[in-house]
Amino acid sequence: MNSIPERKDVKKEDKWDLSKLYPGDKEWEEGLVQLNEYIPGIEKFRGTLGSSSASLKACLEYMNEIELLDERLGYYAHLRLNEDEGSGENQERFARYMSIATNLAAATSWQTPEIQAIDSKKMEEFLADESLAEYRITLNKILRFKPHVLSENEEKLLAMQAEANQTANKTFSALTNVDMDFGTIKTKDGEVPLTQSTFAAFLINPDRKLREKAYFQFYKGFETHKNTIASLYAGSVHLDIYRSRVRNYESSRAAALFPDKVEEKVYDNLVDTIGKNLPALHKYYKLRRAALGLDKLAHYDVYAPLVSDVQVKHSYNEAVDVIIKALAPLGEEYCTTLKGGLTGGWVDRYENKGKRSGAFSAGSYVGDPYILINYKEDVLRDVFTLAHEGGHSMHSWYSVKNNPFQHYNYTIFEAEVASTFNEQLLAKYLLEHAEDDSMRAYLIGKQVDDIIATIFRQTMFAEFEHLAHRMVEEGQPLSVESVRKLYRSLLEKYFGSEVELFAESDLEGLRIPHFYRAFYVYKYSTGLAAAIALSTKVLNGDEQDRLDYLGFLKSGGSKYPLESLAAAGVDMSTPEPVEAAMRRFAELTSELEKLLVKA
């Protein structure tokens, strides 16, 4: 078994090249000093923003310089920390950046309220002034929030609560990731700690007895702490509702959807459409039970592999070649740029001691759209992960090339489309070049699993969040009993009669960290549905469909997400994209069933 190298021993060509952010730590230090020196100059603009368009522009330009520098410093510190989280130097650098960034946030807290306080008629005149043309999008986004902004003193009080508002989330994380001890599981390789991370790995283990033991042992830990966690979640929900009410939103959900300009009907369409298509999911679970040869499919069986991991190896460069061939429908510029980035300094490729696990793309206005991955040659899913993160990075690349800094940044709603779009194209390419039915079954099974995990499961979470918040908004208490009862009703709805649930099963509702960032998970569902629709258009359409999709990538933050997707040819305000994803799910499960019968 190869040992995991120290960061200092990683080959240069296997690391990302951060020199476009800063040539080295010395230059970063100079930038941090410069950022700190900028902060006192912010105060001179206070009270001037409504005096003239020239005064407003002067402040916006000054803040652009600061924010561009702040982003650059923050990304460098963040990336250096993630390449080796055990490095005291990296920890200290990031902490010093955060200290100054916090001071910057405090020094600028007056600006948005002052802009929103400008007389409406005067602001109309400002927006008509050509000298402010490049700031119109930013200003209009700020002005949308005007009905929900309070007085200066009230805003100050709310801002002072920011750290305290993190208590429920931080406590939940500390309790479930650090303090709770789930024990160990005896495996053929010895005793393995049961943790939040390893639990998922145990549930995909082919050994059913191992899955069963891990399942009940894990939830025993949550049973022990159920009252504490339910109380934390109730506190988080009450805080969401408090913040929405003091800012004059109709509901906590309306408040969460407002920044993206997403109507609540989009959320409802998603839940309703998935609800109507649950028979297809239940049919899949029946197929799964038969494929596993079980009399009853238990809750701990729903992630067990139907097809063994195919034995295929791709070196990193081979993976890049496969990805670029799969993405050929997007055109030469897209593919040439992505290949150059994946092989020329965008990517930190392999695991080293102290490196953050998983994968992410981090695109900023200065520097490259960097990718962190822990690539393994014998894991086919890592090829998909690289394609996924490459989608994010190319989204950032196009956005930077086509927008000024002040509105280049796109929303998470849109980000999930660009990444999963690439996975759709990769899956199609690999299926077309699959050498045998085993590989085809594996690839189709992965697509089925992705739709279940990303659309069905996240929609179930979204429905739970809405119902839990509505209960409190209507005066009903959230207790451990009411939370579990609500979550169990959804488990029964989504899994159907084919899946055996246990007394412990509804404890799952107490372990989902996303619930502490309410009304977020629906974006995963809508993102994949949009990606399926757009990839189908690009693969089966004409040149205009390709250009429309690239136009979506280029739009950055210049439009609201539903507008940018509509321009690309997908109307997420209607149920149709989700219905199309459900039709695709039915096709995939039907094909998987045929392949499993052959096997």
Q: What distance in Å separates the CA atoms of residue 148 and residue 338, rounded to the nearest whole number?
A: 41
C-alpha distances out from residue 218 to 188, 211, 541, Å: 19, 10, 48
Q: What is the DSSP string of 98-154?
A: HHHHHHHHHHTTTHHHHHHTS-HHHHHHHHHSGGGGGGHHHHHHHHHTGGG---HHH
- The reported pLDDT for the residue numbered 2 is 56
Q: What distance in Å separates the CA atoms of residue 359 and residue 250, rounded to the nearest whole number?
A: 37
- Output DSSP code: residue 347: E
Q: What distance in Å separates the CA atoms of residue 467 and residue 456, rounded to the nearest whole number?
A: 17
Structural domains in the chain plus CATH codes: 7-166 (1.20.140.70), 245-344+378-469+511-599 (1.10.1370.20)
Question: Tell me, what amino acid is at 505?
Answer: S
83, 389, 414, 498: the catalytic one is 389
Contacts of residue 240, Cβ cutoff 8 Å, sequence gap at least 6: 252, 255, 256, 469, 518
- The reported pLDDT for the residue numbered 421 is 97
Structure tokens at 178: 């650090």
Identify the sign of the CA torsion 49, 55, 57, 61: negative
Q: What are the backbone dihedrals phi and psi of residue 298, each rounded to the nearest 5 degrees, phi first?
A: -80, 160
- The reported pLDDT for the residue numbered 307 is 84
Structure tokens at 38: 């900028």
Q: Please answer whether residues 145 and 113 qualify as being in contact, where contact means their C-beta atoms are separated by less than 8 angstroms.
A: no
Q: Is 71 a catalytic residue?
A: no
Q: Please answer whether residues 549 and 267 qualify as being in contact, where contact means their C-beta atoms are separated by less than 8 angstroms.
A: no
* pLDDT of the chain, 599 residues: tens digit per residue: 357 899 999 999 999 999 999 999 999 999 999 999 999 999 999 999 999 999 999 999 999 999 999 999 999 999 999 999 889 999 999 999 999 998 898 899 889 989 999 999 999 999 999 999 999 999 999 999 999 988 777 877 887 787 788 899 889 988 988 899 999 999 988 998 998 878 988 998 999 999 999 999 999 999 999 999 999 999 999 999 999 999 999 999 999 999 999 999 999 999 999 999 999 999 999 999 999 999 999 999 999 989 876 788 999 999 999 999 999 999 999 999 999 999 999 999 999 988 888 899 999 999 999 999 999 998 899 999 999 999 999 999 999 999 999 999 999 889 999 999 999 999 999 999 998 998 999 999 999 999 999 999 999 999 999 999 999 999 999 999 999 999 999 999 999 999 999 999 999 999 999 999 999 999 999 999 999 999 999 999 999 999 999 999 999 999 999 999 999 999 999 999 999 999 999 999 999 999 998 76
Give the HSE-up count for residue 474: Cα atoms under 13 Å, Cβ half-sphere.
7
Q: What distance in Å separates the CA atoms of residue 395 and residue 387, rounded to the nearest whole number?
A: 12
What pTM value is reported for the model? 0.90
Q: Please answer whether residues 174 and 260 qualify as being in contact, where contact means their C-beta atoms are separated by less than 8 angstroms.
A: no
